[in-house]
Structure formats: C-alpha cells, structure tokens
C-alpha cells in the first residue's frame, strides 16, 4: 500500500450472498446481502511495521442454506479512527465443477391449478460450467408427451443466470397434469452434470366455482405498473382494470360468470417485480365464499385459473341510463345467464310498473330513487335479482321570474334581470340577447320565459305575461291631464311625462310599498306636455307609486325599480 501515517488499521471481511429471491420491491433479486462478518464486526487489527505486504488467514463456517455459488467475499482495509476505507476487493466463492453444465434453476408462471391448455412458462437458466453457455434446448413434456422445444441462444458466463420467457404453447389439459421441463444439447454438446437439468410441475384440478368472482387488490408505490384482466372460456375479456393512479389504495371488482368452463385471471406488473402489497380472489366453492388465490410476489405476470359452473339461470340486467330528470325514459337490457324463457320485471315508480318483455322501456315521471327487480325462469329453475335505488330521477330546479310590468310602444329596451337562479336564458316576443324591446314585441300581450338548467341537466321554466300598449294621445287618458312613466321597470333613471290641459299647480309624489314618501316634485308648468327626469339610483328594488296631482285632479301609477 502507499505510505500511510496512521496506526489504527483493521481488516474487515464480509461474506455476502446475491440472487436472493426476495420481493422487497427492489427488483427481481436481492443482491450483496450481508451473511457474516469475520471474525466479527470489530475486524482484525493489522500492522505494516514489518513490511508493506501482510497475510491474514481467517476461518468461517458457511450456513447450510447459503448458495455457495452466489456468495462473495468482500475485504476492505479501514482506518478505525476515521472509518476511512483505504483498500477494498471482492471475490466470488463460485467455482465451476464441470466444464459444461447448464442448470435449470427455476420454472414459474404455471398455475398450481390448471384447466386451460395453454401456458407461457418463465425459466431461470444458469451456467454452472466453465464454458460460456451459448445455446441450449428447453423442452416441455406434458403428461408424457413432448409438446414444445424452445431453442435458447445467448452468451451466459459462469456463474450467471438469465430469465427466459417461453412463448405460449398449447396442449390437451387433463384434470391433473404433469409438466416436465428439461434441458438438452448445451453448446451442441453433452451436459456433464445432468442432475440439475430438469424440473417437474404437477398441476391439480381447478376449483368449481359458482355465481361470481371477487378481486380485492391493494396498489403499491407504483400503481401505474399494475393491470389485470378476467377471461372466460372463449378468451373474451369479462373485466379489466388499471393502470392505476392512487398509491396504496384498494380496488374491488366483482365479475359474474356468463358461461361455464375454464376461466383465467391475469395480474400484470410492467416492471417485472410484482406488487409489494397483496391481492386475493374469492368466489363461491361448494356453497362457501373461498379464497382461491392470494399473493403479490411474482414477476411480470401472475395467472390463476378456475372453472365456472353455471347451472340453471341467473338474473342480471343493465340499462342505457341510470339517472336523469323527470320524464326520464330508460331502456333496460336483459343480461341474465342460462336458457331463460320467462321474464318478470318490477319497476318501482316507473310506467309500466311491471313487464314480461325481455328488454322493456320504462318511463319515470317523478323525482326519486327507485328499485328494479328482475325474476327469470327457464321453466324449471327460477332466480331473482333486485337492485335497490338503481334508478335516480333528480328534482327539477325551482325557477322564478320577477314581474316585468306593462310597457308602451316607443319605450327603450331594457335588460331582463328578474330570473333566479342566475345563469338561465330569457326568451319570448321582443327578447333578444336577454333584453326586452317593446317596439320589437309590438302592441299586445306577450309571454316572456326564463329557462334554467342545473348541474344535473334538469331544466325548468318560469313564465309571465307582459302587455305592450300603444300609449298614444296622452291627452285622451282624461279630459284634462295624462301621465306616463318610462321605462318601467326602471333601471337607474326614468322619465315621468305628463300632459296638463290647464295652467294649474302640479305635484308629483313617489311613495314606497309601505306608503312612505321617498321623493316629491313641484314643477312650474303651463299648458302642454312636460317631462321630469327621475334618478332612482338611491332607491331600493321594489314597487313604488307615483301620485300625480294637477289642480283638483289626481291619478296614480305603479313604478317598478329593478337594478
């Protein structure tokens, strides 16, 4: 070593093991796991006083469950005062016992219970020989018959291992199946250690399940990597889910069997390290809810097979909509399983209330939550399915439209603002872009509408009638005097126009709805038509009364303030 002034040196020796098949969410394997510190954590004191090279001999005992070919020796020289590591080296403990030795180290992705004659095994191929492994045949016998051979090629040095995904192949599945995987012709030669060349997997009959299957899954820290699907006997997707977005959240999916036969469930992980949480599949077996699969430790895919037993009939239905506004029409679809010949529907709150059609259409007039019940029969077996509060009919919004008041031809247009809740639309004769124009409406009685739609899409309308008068010949209203107010309703400013046939004193008083005087005018006038501008900015919204007095004659008109 280089010149060093320190004296507190120790040699640390650590025995580690790699390729541990442990699911810690850190990858396919856990590597460099500390098994032992020799002689202990304090190390061995070393002095270079006698020379630059020192030899240290240390003895240790291997654990019986350690895989020697996966163990390493890591030695490092450390300044025990500063903890600085001065030198370090790693040596593998693996030693090739044979020149050519291909090992079948593992076989997975084959269900323990199997009914579907198709598998895609995942193989762990390891080189335990001195030669670099460049080729080997991976063979599969099923129930005593060679079904498939996969010719692997690559470059695998000692003592490395590779995961090989075998393409899917098919076979005639029995209730129980013996699957033998074995290696032949490594490097087109003879394997010198045939004892590690094969693995046998025996699959059992799948459980006979009835009614439905339930998946309960908890996502892990990487929910976007997780997906799943249920397939029926024909390979049709009955249900699927993922990728997910919420970490450590629960997912539940209930899937009803529609046909008998062998069904499959696949749970996928895009990163190839399974999930660090768990999942379970539960279904009815022999009349009891039973967990037929649970786990979380797998690679890219975990498969479960089960056989559905669909006898007799099972009622089920769907519909085009489940919620809407009063006046809702729902198209129901029979989704029952089995050879159904009779249908008996009950529709709470619907019209019709009952039906024997297979796919009925039902009208819901009133708001509420309503149950739907379907009973089906094949002439021998009967089954009933009730879905409570299946249909929701929302309430209509409450809509009001404050009175506009009568109008005169020639009065200016004004913005309509009396509709509530806000956000609706105005319509009717003389209405354009939310403004009412008397001249556009014309003389006569007109219906104005305010239409409002709520967040549920439900719509309601409030209406009122507004009269538009010609209001011609103001002198014709009485023999001596006439009065008109415009615009009315008033928004900000209005004009009081009056006709005086005689030169008399005039008084104009404005009262609120409780009779309180709020404004008064005593204009100096003579014979003819006169106008007074009224600023109503300080007036509250509401109904007011304008009293016009000229000599011994009096008349009163209503004025509406709308801001």
Query: CATH homologous superfamily for 102-203?
Result: Immunoglobulins (2.60.40.10)
Q: What percent of the chain has pLDDT over 90?
A: 56
Extract the runs of DSSP E, i.e. beta strands, from 335-458.
342-347, 354-355, 361-364, 368-377, 382-393, 400-401, 407-408, 414-415, 419-420, 425-428, 431-432, 435-436, 444-453
Task: Give the pLDDT of residue 28.
Answer: 66
Q: What is the pLDDT of residue 478?
A: 42
Q: Residue 511 pLDDT > 60, yes or no? A: yes
pLDDT for 491 equals 82
Q: Looking at the domain that runs over 208-308, which CATH code has it been given?
A: 2.60.40
**Quick one: what percent of the chain has pLDDT higher than 70?**
95
**More confident of the two residues 251 and 335:** 251
CA distances 248 to 5, 214, 225, 251, Å, are 54, 19, 13, 10
pLDDT of 479 reads 44
Question: What's the pLDDT tens digit per position in 263-311?
Answer: 999 999 999 889 999 999 998 888 788 899 998 888 889 999 998 876 6
pLDDT, residue 26, reads 59
Question: Under a CB-based contact definition with an 8 Å cutoff, are residues 312 and 383 in contact?
Answer: yes
- pLDDT band (50, 70, 90) for residue 417: confident
**Model confidence at 514: pLDDT above 90:** no
Q: Is 413 a residue whose pLDDT tops 50?
A: yes
Per-residue DSSP letters for 52-108? S-----------TTS-GGGEEEEEEEEETTT--EEEEEEEE----SBSS-EEEEEEE
Which of the pair, 437 or 3, is modelled with greater confidence? 437
Write out pLDDT tens, residues 3-46: 677 778 999 999 999 888 776 655 667 888 999 999 999 999 99
Residues 226-256 pLDDT 10s:
999 999 888 899 999 999 999 999 999 988 8
| Mean pLDDT, residues 462-476 taken together | 70
The average confidence (pLDDT) of the chain is: 89
Highest mean pLDDT among 260-269, 360-369, 527-536 belongs to 360-369
Cβ–Cβ under 8 Å, residues 240 and 227: yes
159-192: pLDDT as tens digits: 888 999 999 999 999 989 999 999 999 999 999 9
400-469 CATH: 2.60.40
What was the pLDDT predicted at 474?
37
CB-CB neighbours of 300 under 10 Å: 18
Domain 317-393 has CATH 3.40.50.1370: no
Asked if the peptide bond before residue 159 counts as cis, ω within 30 degrees of 0, the response is yes
**Which stretch, 304-318, 448-462, 487-501, has highest mean pLDDT?**
448-462
Q: How far apart are CA 472 and CA 443, in angstroms?
A: 11
**pTM, two decimal places:** 0.47
Measured between alpha carbons, how far is 510 from 516 in angstroms, rounded to an integer? 8
Paired strand residues for 15: 36, 73
Domains 317-393 and 474-561 share a fold: yes
User: In CATH, what class is 474-561?
Assistant: mainly beta
Spans of all domains in the chain: 9-92, 102-203, 208-308, 317-393, 400-469, 474-561
The model's confidence at residue 315, banded by pLDDT at 50, 70 and 90, is confident
């Amino acid at each position: 070593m280089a010149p060093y002034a320190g004296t507190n040196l120790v040699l640390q020796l650590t025995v580690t093991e790699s390729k541990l098949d442990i699911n810690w969410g850190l990858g396919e394997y856990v590597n460099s796991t500390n098994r032992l510190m020799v002689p202990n954590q304090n190390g061995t004191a070393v002095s270079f006083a006698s020379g630059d090279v020192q030899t240290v001999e240390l003895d240790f005992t291997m654990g019986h469950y350690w895989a020697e070919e996966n163990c390493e020796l890591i030695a490092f020289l450390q300044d025990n005062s500063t903890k600085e590591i001065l030198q370090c080296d790693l040596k593998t403990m693996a030693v090739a016992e044979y020149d050519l030795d291909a090992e079948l180290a593992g076989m997975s992705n084959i269900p323990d219970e199997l009914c579907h004659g198709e598998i895609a095994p995942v193989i762990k191929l390891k080189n335990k020989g001195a030669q670099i492994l460049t080729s080997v045949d991976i063979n599969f016998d099923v129930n005593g018959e060679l079904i498939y051979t996969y010719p692997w090629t690559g470059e695998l040095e000692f003592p490395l291992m590779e995961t090989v995904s075998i393409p899917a192949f098919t076979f005639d599945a029995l209730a129980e199946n013996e699957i033998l995987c074995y290696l032949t012709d490594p490097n087109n030669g003879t394997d010198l250690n045939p004892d590690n060349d094969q693995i046998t997997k025996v699959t059992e009959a799948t459980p006979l399940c009835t009614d439905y299957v339930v998946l309960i899954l908890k996502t892990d820290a990487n929910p976007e990597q997780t997906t799943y699907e249920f397939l029926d006997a024909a390979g049709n997707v009955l249900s699927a889910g993922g990728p997910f977005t919420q970490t450590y959240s629960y997912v539940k999916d209930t899937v009803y069997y529609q046909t008998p036969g062998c069904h499959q469930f696949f749970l996928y992980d895009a990163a190839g390290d399974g999930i660090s949480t768990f999942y379970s599949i539960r279904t009815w077996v022999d009349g009891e809810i039973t967990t037929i699969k649970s786990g979380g430790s797998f690679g890219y895919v975990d498969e479960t097979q089960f056989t559905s037993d669909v006898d007799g009939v099972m009622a089920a239905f769907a519909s085009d909509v489940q919620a809407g506004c009063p006046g809702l029409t729902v198209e129901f679809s029979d989704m029952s399983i089995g050879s159904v010949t009779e249908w008996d529907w009950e529709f709470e709150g619907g019209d019709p209330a009952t039906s024997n059609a297979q796919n009925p259409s039902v009208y819901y007039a009133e708001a509420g939550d309503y149950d739907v019940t379907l009973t089906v029969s094949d002439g021998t077996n009967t089954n009933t399915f009730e879905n409570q509060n299946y249909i929701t009919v929302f309430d209509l919004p409450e809509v009001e439209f404050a009175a506009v008041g009568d109008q005169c031809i020639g009065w200016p247009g004004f913005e309509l603002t009396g509709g509530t809740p806000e956000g609706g639309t105005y319509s009717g004769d003389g209405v354009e872009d939310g403004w009412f124009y008397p001249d556009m409406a014309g003389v006569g009685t007109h219906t104005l509408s305010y239409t409002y739609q709520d967040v549920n899409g439900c719509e309601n309308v409030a209406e009122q009638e507004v009269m538009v008068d010609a209001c011609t010949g103001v002198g014709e209203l009485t023999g001596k005097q006439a009065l008109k107010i415009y615009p009315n309703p008033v928004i900000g400013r209005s004009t009081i126009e009056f006709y005086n046939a005689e030169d008399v004193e005039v008084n104009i008083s404005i009262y609120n709805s409780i009779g309180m005087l709020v404004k008064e005018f005593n204009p100096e006038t003579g014979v003819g038509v006169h106008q007074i501008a009224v600023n109503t900015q300080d007036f509250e919204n509401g109904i007011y009364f304008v009293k016009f007095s000229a000599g011994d004659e009096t008349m009163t008109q209503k004025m509406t303030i709308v801001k």
